[in-house]
Structure 1
Amino acid sequence: MAARVFPLLLLLTTTSYAFTPHDNFLISCGSDSTTEVVYNRHFVGDSSHKGSAYLSEGTSSSLTNPNSSPNSTVIYSTARVFTSASSYTFDIKNLGTHLVRLHFSPFASPNYDLRNGKFGVSANGISLLTSFGANVTVVKEFFVLVDRDELEIVFTPDVDSGSNFAFVSAIEAFSAPRDFFIDSGGIALISPGEISEFKQNVSNQALETVHRVNVGGLLLTPFNDTLWRSWIPDEDFLVIKSAAKVARTSDPPNYQQGGATREVAPDNVYMTAQQMNVYNGSLANHFNITWDFPVSSEGAMHLVRLHFCDIVSVALNTLYFNIYINCVTAYKDVDLSVLSLHRLASPYYIDFVVKNVRGSGVVRISVGPSDLNNAMKKDAILNGVEIMRMVNYAAPSPPGSKKDGKWIVLGCVVGGVFVLILAVVAVLAILRCGKGKPEPKPKPKTRRAESTGWTSLRVFGGGSSLAAISQGTVPASASPYGLYDLKLLFADLQLATDNFDKSLVVGSGGFGTVYKGVLKDSVKVAVKRGVPGSRQGLPEFHTEITVLSKIRHRHLVSLVGYCEEQSEMILVYEYMEKGPLRNHLYGSDSPPLSWKQRLEICIGAARGLHYLHTGSAQGIIHRDIKSTNILLDENCVAKVADFGLSKSGPCLDETHVSTGVKGSFGYLDPEYFRRQQLTDKSDVYSFGVVLFEVLCARPAVDPLLNREQVNLAEWAMEWHKKGVINEIIDPHLSGQIKPSALKKFVETAEKCLAEYGVDRPTMGDVLWNLEHAYQLQTNDGPREEEQRAMDGDSGDGEAEAPVVVPSRRAGAGGDGGSDMSTSHVFSQLVTNDGR
């Protein structure tokens, strides 16, 4: 019974508090009624004597819904139809921000089917809606600054779209509370990758409500809001629902001067929240709670208002958290105790202006724990979210742009002539200096380049040393992705795949379907075809081409080309005969790999990752390392694949890259997840999961197992700490693994899975340790007792002489031209006592 009463109390909390606007116009359009009561508010029909005073110029008529029932909302049983530009004009007594709410409820009548209408709506010359139409009942809400003594709302049929009428069912126009939008104080502007100050007045912007969300709470109707707004639950916007849990209180909020008021948001919003779903204060559960809110306008500016009320703390100054918007740290170390004047459960809101990048269809909001919290008391909360699009936003012009325009033009002309003269002189000088000059001898490779198998990275925009991608490929004109034009014809790919025959499908993923194909020159390829016409995979498509057109390494899958015709997004790679590593560990009929093969595969993949991280000044972070993205060729040589989520690493003066969380569940670096700060150590963590996957031959996450076994990384680490790791390794490996090799392998995996990136090894260190484990496995020199002594366990065994191990890297080009056996996997000389 109590569980039912509590939500009812919440719904009734705010009804006793009323807001009385100075200007208050409530119009039931097309109605002749003098009073229609909706949500305890009195609407007047615009066909009545009083209501008709608001109708201005234009041709219009009233319609009645022939199918309306007694249970229908009364303001939706009629409509006003306009066959020419027509308006409502309201006399304004209180200048300032006004809330304009337009109701559209289409129905079919003998003369009009309102679902076919297309039209525009403006308020005092500001365009609110363009080529708008409604198939179902829709309410559009705007905040508009009224700076003159009248508000004119104009409806104009969109004749260009073939529509000859506009319509509206009801209009609300009333003054907003004073200081509903505060311009002073420097609102933060969140742009892609950076934060600055929004230098315009928010109150001057016309704002359209896109989302209004009661985080952690129920649906709130206009009955429960002093401004007659609706608030929807947040469940559908949560990215990972299990990351959050609902917090609620039955006590009303403690409103304080300078904080939020009941007009900013009702009591019910501040009496519920989402907080971190932390289990028993476990340090492994440090993460962010993230919501994705769809927005339809590309590149638009949005006002984001976040509502907070600390209903989870039992004392002041115990809750600190961070706010992230679109993967940018928008507010660090929030302390609600300070913001709310040292009162618990005191409502507060924070405004941000967010500039969405073009092509981005969401505003992502996250809250996560601050480092200021006690390690066992980390938490973060959010009570409500409002997102409003800036309808009339215009970027400020640079100072003096008009005044100095003629001088800018003159300067450009003079500067252009001067640059042209310099260019001519430079060309003549180069031609003179180049005559008779002997061709320089190529520089010998450095030892580092020779040992790692790197090739020169091709740079965008130019370069003096250009190497062909592979034999038979020659430099071509610059493509959008690099210096080499790798474009392939769609017709050639149709031929290569027998018109994308389903029998040639070898895999599928989030991007699309992968087909086996054969090009005209009899080269086998893997053809990854994105969903035709879809723009969802476009960023991954571009990223993959950008990354793979710059790099080449024996242990990275090579890009053969791409196709971008007829709305197609197709990537073509070298064909990997044996497919994903995962298929050879579990879940298929492939014969199990030997322990020696598994070590070689891990070493090869580590080599590829090491090259990604260190092969350029910034390096490249893969972001999606997993067993399905490590492919095997016919000789079981491992190659890292799928670079659609890759990011350039941090610059020399940076420690990380701030970016949205991407990756695969079970492999995701927990530090990256909670901080949204990406480093190459995130790849190291994922690779550590792969190492245990190779050892135990089971998925990274298996929800069908007991709770303590679901997550492979946590489960394997726990068994290793107990000293019984032998009991969970793949039974197919029974009797194959030497204890010393197993010890080194598991230690390496454990270090990769350290909680914090700073405690994890680099991929270079991981590679060295795996090669050491391989040497321990394959070398018959030292006895087990001696090896344990050298590893620091016990005994005083003496190491044998250093063993010279053949290096596959020595003399091998980065394109994998070595003919050495794949079993020769060492990149350096090693001794039995390690590094």
Structure 2
Amino acid sequence: MGRLKDIIDSDIRSYLSISPSTPTSSIIMFHATGNESGPSTPTSTSSSSSSMQWSQLCRHFEFGEILSATESFAESLVIGRGGFGKVYKGNIYNGSTLVVAAIKRLDAMSNQGASEFWAEVEMLSKLRHCHLVSLIGYCNYETEMILVYEYMPHGTLEDHLHKLGTPLTWCERLMICIGAARGLDYLHTGTGIEFGIIHRDVKSSNILLDESWAAKVSDFGLSKISPRNQQSTHVSTLVKGTFGYFDPNYFATGKLTTKSDVYAFGVVLLEVLCRKRAVDDSLDWGIATWAQDSIKEGRLKDIIDSAIRGEISPKCLKQFVRIAERCLDNHPKLRPTMAEVVLSLEYVLKLQEKTNNVSHSASKTIFGRMFNKFSFTDNGQNSGMDFDSLMPKKPHIGIDFGPLMSKKRKQLMLRQKFFQQNGALLLEDKLKNGVGSINIFRAEEIEKATTDFADYMIIGRGGYGTVYKGVLPDNRVVAIKRSRVSDETQMEQFINEILILGRINHRNVVQLVGCCLETEIPLLAFEFVANGSLHDHIHNNNSSTRRLSWDSRLRIAHESAGALAYLHSDATMTIIHRDVKSANILLDENYTAKVADFGGSKSLQILEVDDPVTTLVQGTLGYLDPEYFHTSQLTDKSDVYSFGVVLAELITGSKPISMERHQEERNLAAYFLIAEREDRLIEIIDPHVFEEAATDEQLEAACSLACRCLHMEGKKRPSMKEVTMELERIRKIRNPWDSEVYHENVSD
């Protein structure tokens, strides 16, 4: 990693008293983006040499560190072998903390090579999900290519099914399948990467199990970026993968889609049910053909693993097999999406638990320990970070600059003061839980980007402060958020937003680009979202905004719901947004939704999710959950209520609070529920929405969903996952007279 002295002008360096001998290890978490020593990699990005980047989740290891960790690649430490090479268990220093890691070394004779190596580094450095394996770092030295992962103490699903004979119950197997399916769904639709990701090698040996038996999808060496939301829905590519899991359509045509992963996952489902390998020596055909033939011949019960045959209820078995059959359909378009697979498997699990009359936690099984699967433990990724070495040093005591102190020197001392008061020390303490990758900008960069915060660069104002459009030296356009005042509360929100967004990577969540600590009021820089907020497009009918069609409104609602479901269930920690509203749903150049503003968000350990957290009430009137308001008890269902208000806005075109309406109509949520109860919703539905809805059924379903979200009792509201799937179903309701293929329009 580059040293701090490498990114600070020499004249400034002298004032900051940074010694040329400052050890690199003391500042290893910062490096210059574009001025870093060592070999370049495909993941490097060009950026201003004067900005610092925080890159803790993927670091470069020296070859000597790898040798030490693996005892020079001792055979006794080998824990796995594959097409890539051998995997070793080793203890390696990450910062100053010794962590247990899985170290994968490329075999010189392997069919895989540098392209797969860099593909995996690039993929895993960008992905954030509790059901994807985490990459700690990598090493490339001469011909050596090595990947360092978090260690998965329970090995692979393949091990437990086919080698160890682990007595996994049916519910435990279902939970593993659900976890893996969630990981794949995130790859296909939820990544912050421009397009979705096709894994291309889904199999039981690539599903790892952590200390809590939570499933984590691994091995991204063959993964491909898919052209999501484009006219072309497939990638023509050299066929790669594993026999037994190959999608026949992909094998025959070379056309790769996300449905190829769905097919392979269908094979995994059969492995879990039958406890036979994808290509098993006891079978004349692969498991997919054998199982499907057996089902057609009425021998379903005969193919079930005898260890669980007595556990599965008939209804549960029927539903599970139906999911597997749909995944294995010869026609890719007829296969479900991974989101549909997740919902279907969760339904199967609920059916089975109802039959067993046990709680969802399954506390008496090995999965009773899954409570901490979202916990953000300190794996040493931040240990050893010396913040003091990163901060400007105070002038030597006894030196009186007096009237001779230059203007430049005064500016430096003032920036030093701001740097410290704006949370550098607080960040050091808070970031022990890890954060992704973030640029630390210099004040001059931000001033230049915004033309000294010129009025004509302002793109938004609110109670929080002002947002400016800025252009960075590398020509990236960003939105720079400047708070109105700087006090302790603002500082906590500033730090909180950095911490929350550092744990998130989702295509429908606005991305944090960086921050600046050198100004009196700390600044946050976000990706620039070109088309403003959903609130603007619903309520500001002027020439600068475009009226959103009903199809567009449904899509935006679906995308936003998916982002919230990710925050609640699939991020590395459960995150409650706490200020869901149409003004915090931004629209990019393609009118894709981006959930924003995490200053008031609350992150929870999984232990806390089912129990309310007592906290100071925070949110926006009109969107605030009444139950949370009266009890101060915060749960994820508070976000669901707020989202219900957004749905009501989309359906009616009305503001959540309006003093222009009659007394009983001022609160939209209350008025919407009364109108629904009195069967007069038609009176308040936006006339354009009423005209454009595909059918009465579609509009009624949307209204019903909004009412369910707005239920006064939080426990009776749906989860955001259920909301997401219901919106997906609603979007598919079409007028029978319409063409099967329709185009969504954003009308003027």
For the aligned pair, the TM-score class normalised by the smaller chain equals: 0.3 to 0.5
Larger radius of gyration: 1
Greater RCO, 1 or 2 (C-alpha within 8 Å, sep 6+): 2
More strand by share: 1
